[in-house]
Amino acid sequence: MVINDSNYEEIVAQGKPVVLDFWATWCGPCKKIGPSIEALAEQYKEQVNIGKVNIEDDAEDLVAEFGIRNVPTVLFLKGGEVVDKVVGAATKDVFEEKIKALL
């Protein structure tokens, strides 16, 4: 799922926990974690909205709102509030543990 400034509020309004993967096309570590994030998005699609936020494409408001300074940054939100985050590359197991904590 692609998340940007125009659809973020609608996604949060669905009431599910949200995972935001802030990334950029030029970012090597972003490309490294991409397949893990995509696999988890499929695995948890009924319980959690997991999406990618391209910092270079219609996401200026989200980048500013969440104070994103480095990519990759993965935020874990519950009730619209950030409850956890991972800055930099991590393993699929780390992301999955944090997703389970949201449920």
Are the C-beta atoms of 71 and 26 separated by less than 8 Å? no
Q: Which of 30, 50, 53, 62 is catalytic?
A: 30
Sign of the four-CA dihedral 94, 87, 2, 83: positive
Known catalytic membership, residue 27: yes
Residue 6 a catalytic site member = no
Distance CA 17, CA 28 (A): 27
Which residue's structure tokens are 């799922």? 1
Catalytic residue among 1, 27, 39, 86: 27
Active-site residues: which are they? 27, 30
